Structure 1
Amino acid sequence: MPMIAKPRFLPMRIHVNQALARRLPKNHPIIPILENSTSKINSGYHGEVEVDFHLKYLDDKEHHIFRDLRLSHPLHHFQLDNLILSRKYILHLEVKNYTGTLYFDEKLKQFYQTANNAEKGYQHPLTQLRRQNAQFLDWLAARGFSGLPVISQLVFSNPAAVIKTNDAGIRRLVCKADQLKAQLSTVLSSASVDIMTEKEQRKLSRLLLKENLPHKPEVLKNYDIHYDELRKGIQCPACSAFYMKRKHRFWVCPHCHHHSSHAHVDALLDYFLLVKPTITNSEFRDFMCLSSVKTSSNLLVSMGLPHQGINKGRVYFAPLNFHSLLEERRIQVRNHPINR
């Protein structure tokens, strides 16, 4: 298997949408919009995971795989679904999870989908692919890696999709996920000479990881939702009801009587997702519905959060393993008996 230099996590927008849905009244008009947004993003994510499966055949000594990179550009940030770094080539794979019949009209430079007896046009995915390629080449040149060739491929992950075109040349740039291995064997057959040394490959890998800028949606601002509209307090991990009470070092659910020593951690993750990446003792008490300064201080200290300042001026930051904690919570929720 190849070396996964940067793994793929569930998109941050899904975590944010789910946190907002939890923290709003169930009849809030934005809930259906959040559910629709989450469904679309989740579909794209599963398409990318499908392509990840078909990349397992690559030699681990030769390839460094980066998933969901987001890099800076003078005009704006750009994202790369999959970047594969080898000493012989750099490969960029853009993934689409469309269903139905997909038609590339290269005479009119249009791309459209026919599904459920309806036709819908989209931004031409090859235009997007070429733009991302140009932005990445600019990024490389600005960091002393000019002249490196970048090979790009558009991959459709849905096995039921049918691809049609009026230009046979499209086949060199487009394939389905289950055809990826054969497609890359053809496309990469001419890449027989090293374009960088092993030292340069390691240097570029470090740069990509260092300069990756994960996207953090400002969801309250985007949906024009005020902080005071959020449901504060601790949600029960057993029955999902609000509001757990703090009793003798435990959080106790008044509905199902479940006890938890760490239910505040999930609430704090919601705060960091929705509000901001820092929190003070006063803000913690407000969001957790606590009155005791000492209890709040003890809970914050017990989590080992990065911080600066002392006494009332102390500010706590989101944990360094924030993404890992979100993934752990997702797995726990998925495996909870109520969700099986």
Structure 2
Amino acid sequence: MELTPPTFLLQAEALERRIADNHRKMQDVKAKIRILRSGYNGEKTIKYYLDPIPEHKYHIFYGLRLPIGNTFFQIDTLLLSNKLILILDAKNHSGTLRFEINQLIHEYGDNRDVYENPVAQVNRHKILLRYLFEKFKIPPIPIENLVTVCKPSTEIIIHPGYQEAAQKVIRAYDLLNKVDELEEKYTEKKLNQKHLNQVINLLKTQHTPQKIDILNFFQITEDELITGVQCPRCLYIPMDYRRSKWICPECLLFSKEASINGINDYFLLINSSFSNPEIRKFLLLPSSRSTTSFLPKLNLPQTGTKRGRIYHQPTFPIFTNHVFPPKSKQ
């Protein structure tokens, strides 16, 4: 599984674009984006240090969210071979991290925050993963786990005598050395190719991406959203739709595909499907005919026909960087 931005982050960023700068919830949205972005940047750091590992050695999964009972547990990064599994939890904090048996204390400037001990967290994930494997009759395989501090400038302080943290808390730049140590420790193949493929398929099929009801999360109503298509250059909203093109009245950029970002925002913020009138209202299109003219070009999954046609969210999101800047201002 490739590393992709978490959907919650994409939703929060879409919400930031779609509410007024002075909105009562703007600072809460920005704060959530900072937290989610920091976590994602930590995972990207992990990926940077893991990328040199030859592909034949490990199958690497990023951002796994797996069910157990009536809940889910999330693993930042999982390395799988026929000899062992390695679970990695990324910590991308600045300042000082104090690892104590019952808590993690983060100190940065004048701030002091207390969190769950991440060593205990990765231990719990190891147990839950083993439960999942037992449920699907996967043969026993060693599972190791590490807490990876991603920023080289972060100070790490481990409580005296806390030997488990001393062994499991590492810096991201030391990941390859730690993987080599584990390879020397575990030399016996525990999974044949059939069982290895079974584990790969299990992790992929059980992975359940999280999607938050973002408006409900921040207690924002749909009526508070800024509608229309946003200019991909100057970020002005709304662009005008004329003769099958989107034109920005602020910077005069024109684009044939600027509406795709608006459709992405609709999927992120409102619903995973829409009718012609619903998306026309959100994008501020002038008519049903103008909406119908460009929707088929997106090849979105559809159900129903004619006036009852519903367009559904595809493999998500739809990306495009294709814009057409004007040759001259008119």
Query: Could you tell me the TM-score, scaled by structure 1's length?
Result: 0.88
Match of 2:55 among 54, 60, 70: 60
- Give the Cα separation in 2 of the matches to 1:83 and 1:22: 33
2:250 corresponding residue in structure 1? 255
Structure 2 counterpart of 1:54, one-letter code: Y
Report matched runs for 1:322-333 at 5 Å.
Answer: 322-323=316-317, 325-326=318-319, 328=320
Q: Which runs of 4+ in 1 moved over 6 A?
A: none
1:178 corresponding residue in structure 2? 173
Structure 2 counterpart of 1:193, one-letter code: E
Q: Is the 8 A contact 1:172 1:187 kept in 2?
A: no
Report matched runs for 1:1-340 at 5 Å.
Answer: 6-106=1-101, 109-116=102-109, 118-163=111-156, 164-166=158-160, 167-320=162-315, 322-323=316-317, 325-326=318-319, 328=320
Deviation string 1:78-135 (CA, Å, 9 cap, x unpaired) is: 11111111011111111111233322233xx333233325543211111211121122
- Give the Cα separation in 1 of the matches to 2:268 and 2:60: 27
Moved more, 225-234 or 288-297: 288-297
Structure 2 counterpart of 1:165, one-letter code: H
Q: Aligned residues: percent identity?
A: 28
Shift of 1:8: 0.6
User: CA 1:319/1:126 → structure 2, altered by over 3 Å: closer, same or farther?
Assistant: same
- Give the Cα separation in 1 of the matches to 2:246 and 2:107: 52
Deviation string 1:271-295 (CA, Å, 9 cap, x unpaired) is: 0000011011110111111242222
- Give the Cα separation in 2 of the matches to 1:294 and 1:236: 22
Secondary structure of the residue aligned to 1:121 is strand
What is the number of residues matched between the two proteins?
321
Secondary structure of the residue aligned to 1:27 is coil
- Give the Cα separation in 2 of the matches to 1:104 and 1:244: 51
Secondary structure of the residue aligned to 1:182 is helix
- Give the Cα separation in 2 of the matches to 1:175 and 1:158: 11
User: CA 1:101/1:234 → structure 2, altered by over 3 Å: closer, same or farther?
Assistant: closer
Q: Is the 8 A contact 2:228 2:238 kept in 1?
A: yes
Structure 1 counterpart of 2:142, one-letter code: P
Deviation string 1:192-218 (CA, Å, 9 cap, x unpaired) is: 111101222122212212222111121
Shift of 1:269: 0.6
Secondary structure of the residue aligned to 2:184 is coil
- Give the Cα separation in 1 of the matches to 2:16 and 2:93: 26
Secondary structure of the residue aligned to 2:94 is coil
Deviation string 1:158-212 (CA, Å, 9 cap, x unpaired) is: 1122222212342222211122222233334221111101222122212212222
- Give the Cα separation in 1 of the matches to 2:288 and 2:51: 51
- Give the Cα separation in 2 of the matches to 1:223 and 1:29: 10
- Give the Cα separation in 2 of the matches to 1:294 and 1:184: 58
RMSD: 1.9
Structure 2 counterpart of 1:151, one-letter code: E
Deviation string 1:207-237 (CA, Å, 9 cap, x unpaired) is: 2122221111211011111111111111222
Q: Is the 8 A contact 2:241 2:286 kept in 1?
A: no
- Give the Cα separation in 1 of the matches to 2:199 and 2:259: 40
Structure 2 counterpart of 1:136, one-letter code: L
Secondary structure of the residue aligned to 1:16 is helix
Query: Could you tell me the TM-score, scaled by structure 2's length?
Result: 0.91
- Give the Cα separation in 2 of the matches to 1:256 and 1:113: 44
| Unpaired stretches in structure 1, ≥5 consecutive residues | 1-5, 334-340
User: CA 1:215/1:246 → structure 2, altered by over 3 Å: closer, same or farther?
Assistant: same
Structure 1 counterpart of 2:148, one-letter code: V
Q: Is the 8 A contact 1:137 1:146 kept in 2?
A: no
Structure 1 counterpart of 2:285, one-letter code: L
- Give the Cα separation in 2 of the matches to 1:157 and 1:105: 19
